[in-house]
Amino acid sequence: MQTKKQLFITETTDNNCLRCIAHPDDPYQMNWIEGIHAVGETVHPKQLTVTRDQWMENDRLFLKITFTNATQKDFFASAHTVGVYIPFNDSYPGAELCMTNRCHAHIWCGGESSYILGLRMGGSAPHLGMQLISGSLETYSITDNEKNDRGDFLLHPSPFHLLPEKSYELTLAFFWHNGREDFYRILKDTPRYIHVSANHFTAFEGETVALCIQIQKEIQTCTVIVHGKEIPYQRHGRQIYCNLPTSHYEKGEHRIDITVNGISTFCNVFVSAAPDTILEARCRFIATKQQYHNPNSMLDGSYLTYDNQTGCLIYNGFFHDHNAARERIGMAVLIAMYLRSHKNDTLRASLNHYVQFFLREIFDAETGTVFNDAGKSIKPNRRYNYPWAVKLFLELYLLDGKREYLQDAYRVLKAYYALNGHCFYAFTIPILQVAVCFRQENMENELQEVIGYFRTHAETMIQNAEHYPSHEVAYEQSIVAPAAKFLTEMYSLTGEQRYLSEAKKQIEILELFSGSQPDHHLYACAIRHWDDYWFGKSRLLGDTFPHYWNVLSADAFYAYAKASGEASYLEKANDAYRVQFSLFDETGNASCAMVYPFTVNGTPAHFYDAWANDQDWALIYYLDYIKT
């Protein structure tokens, strides 16, 4: 059916659920709803009956779902008892289709002020949004997901109680918008929405979290509660301001419950130990708990995955993401970077032992080959490994001043580009750092050769534009971010404006991945959903908020801000760098991913994975950030 104003094209199931929502003027005719389930399908116990009503009014498409207690006994719904499917079309079949016919679904189950911000992955309007009009949402789960599909979103109402034959309603309103700013403008113009913003949703000890709460109507009553204690605030018109000094709160997560004019919502803030504390503790933890010592083993000196639950080291030579190389090179890079400004004999001895392992088992100095695991295991010859080795050699050079480390970095870069590296969007290709270090050692001939490789690589990225090549997954944030950073650094190296112009296009696509919900897990955090499955102990395939590779977005934003002078990206970068700090604590413990949904395919989730595996790249990028 279609409205008279032709704002929605919909397909409705026999039970009044939605199989399709499209805009009639969309040149791509994208269906914003896709999944095993239709919008409005429910999960509920047999004590409840469900009815659905659908209508269009004031440029919005409404769906009301009514749960009725059909028994003569009271019914109590907990956060997981009832669920409503809202399967936005968030999957990753490949960049070509994603740019036009897939969306990022930024979900906020924030009590009575809940929404989904849908953004087409290529950025072109119209975009679809959803706002909760009646009822309250507490959290969401994921079902029916797979490697290149986030799955179907199952939204859970806040706990409620029904007397016999009484009902509970959830009303959803769908509407079109022109982008993130327009979406929030529309929400702010509705009486039920409470907008919560903060200077930081992740704050370091010693800082103050400054909250701003905004509502459309004149404020009659307001309470802001943290851990059962009401917080004082100041009111200015339709805005409320309150400060939360981190010195008043323990480190960790803090839920802030907010009620304005009888409407309730919340936000989540994380208080982290100071970065210096985290860095020192993490390096010490790696050296004392994650290094393997056995002179009879080829793994002697390696840094391995650590199980925080059992206190055991983890190694699996037949499962690449659990081996002794690849992303785990980052542990050595972090310690090398830390030692540049902190003298520590224990860390120095540990790093020396690791370098012996790396040169013996992971690296071929003649060919520049970076192997996939100890024993110089080459299968697969993974291109991601090469720039990480370059970063390690550069940091060792900056620590010790040995020219041979730069010669090693040069050979690794040659080997990478011999593997068609110019067609691959690897992380951590440190263009500017290579140039500075090579020039410091008068390696001008080598530098000019490498710059030639970089130019070819940049031309490939420019030619590809938004048609990103598939990598280990078909399309993801960590394909776009390296392109944005690479082109930005090419501008900074050469001064050629076209590189910066092309980088801006990449930055705009990258921003679409980032969340803006008032929760430290989500705010400035890029959508990722497969990481715990590959790198974690729990091996759950579901939203990881945060995951440490979100730092790639921070890195790209910061590089672009410095190169372009667009100050707004400095703030975006700072927020995105902070997100990952909830993965670390002041004892040195770390987690490779936080699985955010309430459940994933019925398995309880919303936890930090028990393995410290590959997350230290977040701290590496943060160190680069604060040193520049």
For residue 283, what is the domain's CATH number? 1.50.10.10
CA distance 88 to 130: 10
Helix axes 568-578, 617-627, angle to 10 degrees: 140
- Residue 549 within a domain: yes
Q: Are residues 139 and 204 in the same domain?
A: no
- Residue 583 within a domain: yes
Is 362 in contact with 381 (CB distance < 8 Å)?
no
Which residues, including other chains, have CB under 8 Å from residue 241's CB and lie 6 or more apart? 210, 211, 212, 213, 233, 234, 235
Q: Are residues 353 and 468 in the same domain?
A: yes
Q: Are residues 90 and 133 in the same domain?
A: yes
Q: Are residues 326 and 305 in the same domain?
A: yes
The answer, yes or no, to whether residue 79 has pLDDT greater than 80, is: no
Q: Are residues 444 and 512 in the same domain?
A: yes
Report which of 543, 547, 550, 575 is spatially closest to residue 477, judged by C-alpha positions.
Answer: 550
- Residue 99 within a domain: yes
Q: Are residues 319 and 448 in the same domain?
A: yes
- Residue 364 within a domain: yes
What pLDDT does residue 3 have? 41
The distance of Cα 221 from the centroid of its chain, to the nearest Å, equals: 36
Q: Which residue has the tokens 């970077």?
A: 337
Mean pLDDT of the region 68-79:
94
Single residue among 156, 184, 212 that ends a domain in this structure: 184
Mean pLDDT of the region 155-160:
97
- Residue 1 within a domain: no
CA distance 352 to 484: 34
CA distance 65 to 82: 12
Q: Are residues 245 and 99 in the same domain?
A: no
Q: Are residues 540 and 583 in the same domain?
A: yes
For 349-381, letters b (16+ CB in 10 Å) and e give ebbebbbebbeebbbeeeebbbbbbbbbbeeee
- Residue 419 within a domain: yes
CA distance 462 to 23: 31
Query: Torsion angle, CA of 37/42/47/53, rounded to 10 degrees?
Result: -120
- Residue 214 within a domain: yes
The residues that bridge with 42 in the sheet, in sequence order, are: 84
Mean pLDDT of the region 445-466:
98
- pLDDT tens digits for 603-620? 999 999 999 999 999 999
CATH number, domain with residue 216: 2.60.40.10
Sign of the torsion formed by the C-alpha atoms of 408, 409, 412 and 414 = negative
Mean residue pLDDT of the chain comes to 97
For 103-121, letters b (16+ CB in 10 Å) and e give bbbbbbbbbbbbbbbbbbb
What pLDDT does residue 350 have? 98
Edge-to-edge strand order for the sheet containing 115-120? Answer: 48-57, 60-69, 167-177, 127-134, 115-120, 103-108
Show the tokens assigned to 460: 């490939």
pLDDT tier at 628, thresholds 50, 70, 90: confident
Q: Are residues 239 and 302 in the same domain?
A: no
pLDDT tier at 5, thresholds 50, 70, 90: low
Query: Torsion angle, CA of 216/219/221/223, rounded to 10 degrees?
Result: 70
Q: Are residues 79 and 90 in the same domain?
A: yes
The answer, yes or no, to whether residue 147 has pLDDT greater than 80, is: yes
Is 380 in contact with 369 (CB distance < 8 Å)?
no
Percentage above 90 pLDDT, the chain: 98
Q: Which residue has the tokens 């896709």?
A: 34
Single residue among 255, 272, 289 that ends a domain in this structure: 272
Mean pLDDT of the region 525-549:
97
Q: Are residues 143 and 247 in the same domain?
A: no
The total number of structural domains in the chain stands at: 3
Q: Are residues 296 and 402 in the same domain?
A: yes
User: DSSP for 7-20?
Assistant: --EEEE-TTS-EEE
- pLDDT tens digits for 254-268? 999 999 999 999 999
CA distance 582 to 272: 7
- Please give the residue range of the domain that contains residue 223: 196-272
Instruction: Kindly state the helix (H) or strand (E) to which residue 229 belongs, with its residue range.
Output: strand 229-230
Mean pLDDT of the region 347-357:
98
Single residue among 151, 184, 217 that ends a domain in this structure: 184
Query: Torsion angle, CA of 426/435/331/536, rounded to 10 degrees?
Result: -10
- pLDDT tens digits for 360-414? 999 999 999 999 999 999 999 999 999 999 999 999 999 999 999 999 999 999 9
- Residue 191 within a domain: no
Helix axes 477-494, 444-464, angle to 10 degrees: 130
The answer, yes or no, to whether residue 2 has pLDDT greater than 50, is: no
